Structure 1
Amino acid sequence: MRTTMDIPHAPHYRPPPPTTAELEWAELPTVDLSLSNTPEGMEELAKVVKTVMKVHGFFYVINHGATPEFNARMFDIADLAFAATTDADKTAYAASIKEAGSYQGFKARQYWHIDSGVRDEVEIYSSTCVVSHRQCRPGRLSERRAVHRDVRKREHPEVLRPFLPEISAFARFNHLRVLHPLLRLFARAADLPEDAFVNIDNYDAAGETYGKHALMAPTTGSSPML
């Protein structure tokens, strides 16, 4: 078990203040995962999720078990992906999105063209792993590439390497403690067996799941926001 002395230092990330602009905020449903511990609670939440699936498409999740300290630490680490890496790092660890369909690594700001000359303003570092499975077939050797969720099995920028155990723990927590309960709710809402989606999205299996550190470029007069 790691002690406090073993935990590497990361400068504390201070988020920008909330906007004071008058905006038309969307009213979204809330899924309270603390209610998922009982059959009655699951049934009630499944109704909420069914409405989400049919009407909203988005929702909030509360009472998922991640403490404010846990989340704050991950923001500190996420900030390092942008504040403490060099342009050379971002080139060396660039994601092969268009070439190979892989999001592992850095996606540069303004990589995507949205419309009419407008480009995206989000810089992203995606943490996951690509593992190769070599298979012998008659007359040839083939290779399948699959995404694995254990971030420690993939090379990362040097500044992030001391933090890989924490990034991995955060990814596992979200997959097992947040995603899996939600998948069970989606299955219920779709009148499927409760573990239908969980069984095909096991944490230890290969799959297209990424832990993403994202930095939104500032608008005029504001600060960058993770």
Structure 2
Amino acid sequence: MAPIALETPAVEPQFNNTKVLIKPWTRPQPTTEKLEYAELPKIDLSIFDQPGGKQELARQLYDAVTKVGFWSVVNTGIDDERVLRQFSFGNAFFKEPLEEKRFPCNFSEGEYFGYRENSRWIGDTGVKENVEMLNIPKAIPAFTNVGKHRIVEQNWEEIASFHRDLFDKVVRKLFVLISIILELPENYLADAHAYDEESDDHLRYMLYNVRSQEEWDKAQAYSKGGHTDFGSLTLLFSQHIAGLQIRTPEGEWKYVSPVEGGITCNAADTLSFLTNGFIKSTIHRVVTPPKDQINVARLGLLYFNRPGANTPMKTVPSPLLDRLGLISEEDKDPNKPVVSGTDYVRARVKDVHYKTVLEKREGTSFEFKGLKVQNHYA
């Protein structure tokens, strides 16, 4: 009689939960090369709560959001020690072995939370992407079950507090200023992106691994067109490795300089969509670092704000946009079927990222539930 085959019970993978020592991270030395930097407005949030402060800041921000799409904020109330601490968490994470960088992004469903390995090839260049990232969701009940890497789990209270403060002290205030520009109720856009509501906002630790000059040349020859961001607002903390460039309204590529004690901000595609192009989502790119920085990995700390599951994707009811003829009769119809902000952004992510090869996307578009979505991701 043949022996009875017994099924081997499934064994859950065992991960290393040893406490990770977080070594302090410091910014590299700035480049000594002479680079051409874009002149971006600097918004001082310390006057936000002063009498007339919001109105003055909205006036200062107007040209930035309608013509350039990039600006910086200072005096946010977020100490640089806390910022460096987040960089230190990211630096520790990227030094982990690959088998410990679990919980990969579920790009097949358009979801961004988790780890993204630098595994895609750039067209037919024979060069791989050099970008790794870890995307951390908001600390709200809807995301309780999202897997956390051990460094995130072990430092969750500190990370979650920083995550929330970025929204309350920076993003919310910027939405108030933009609502004032649009002549909407002050809290209109902040409510449409409410932190406690479900949305794909995330804090990102990001690493551009070192490449040779030859690899940079091949990659840039393929992707020199740049890209726009998918969400509503992006915050970028200074890390001193030059490389970020924006395409100015005049069509020139210029570097974005580090902001001492501040944050570089940009409007993204969803905010442009919600204002029918009135607010600009600027094309930007990361290029070869200067020669005195090319052998230093470029560690990044960013916050991506995205519209929520309850945000309808149609032009906002702005009196200013209405006077400019930017609100269609269809968008004024309260019964018009609309796509949610979360579904819209996830469709964008799925279209671009669920691939093994990074394809040229500039000038392409796709249909999603009746919306024609234009890409600029080259």
The alignment's TM-score, normalised by the length of structure 1, stands at 0.79
Q: Deviations over 1:73-114 (max 9, x none)?
A: 11111212211x221133x311112x110111112226474x
| Structure-to-structure mapping, 1:1-226, within 5 angstroms | 9-83=21-95, 85-90=96-101, 92-97=102-107, 99-109=108-118, 111=120, 113=122, 117=125, 120-128=129-137, 153-220=145-212, 221-226=294-299
- Percent identity between matched residues is 25
Unaligned runs of 5+ in 1: 1-7, 130-146
Q: Which has the larger radius of gyration?
A: 2
Number of residues of Structure 1 aligned to a counterpart in Structure 2: 199
Q: Deviations over 1:13-49 (max 9, x none)?
A: 1332112222211111111111111241111110122
Alpha-carbon shift at residue 9 of structure 1 (Å): 4.7
Residue 30 of structure 2 aligns to a residue in which SS? coil
Query: Is this contact kept in 2: 1:96–1:102, CA < 8 A?
Result: yes
Residue 111 of structure 2 aligns to a residue in which SS? coil
Query: Is this contact kept in 2: 1:148–1:207, CA < 8 A?
Result: no
* Distance in 2 separating the partners of 1:80 and 1:26: 32
The 4+ residue runs of structure 1 with deviation greater than 6 A are: none
* Distance in 2 separating the partners of 1:170 and 1:128: 12
Unaligned runs of 5+ in 2: 1-19, 213-293, 300-378
Residue 73 of structure 2 aligns to a residue in which SS? strand
Structure 1 residue aligned with 2:305? none
Structure 1 residues 9 and 119, CA gap change in structure 2 (3 angstroms): closer
The alignment's TM-score, normalised by the length of structure 2, stands at 0.48
Query: Is this contact kept in 2: 1:151–1:164, CA < 8 A?
Result: no
Residue 133 of structure 2 aligns to a residue in which SS? strand
Query: Is this contact kept in 1: 2:89–2:151, CA < 8 A?
Result: no
Query: Is this contact kept in 1: 2:114–2:147, CA < 8 A?
Result: no
Residue 59 of structure 1 aligns to a residue in which SS? strand
* Distance in 1 separating the partners of 2:131 and 2:193: 27
Amino acid in structure 2 at the alignment position of 1:87: L
Query: Is this contact kept in 2: 1:95–1:105, CA < 8 A?
Result: yes
* Distance in 1 separating the partners of 2:144 and 2:160: 7
* Distance in 2 separating the partners of 1:74 and 1:150: 23
Structure 1 residues 112 and 32, CA gap change in structure 2 (3 angstroms): farther
* Distance in 2 separating the partners of 1:105 and 1:197: 27
Structural RMSD (CA): 2.5
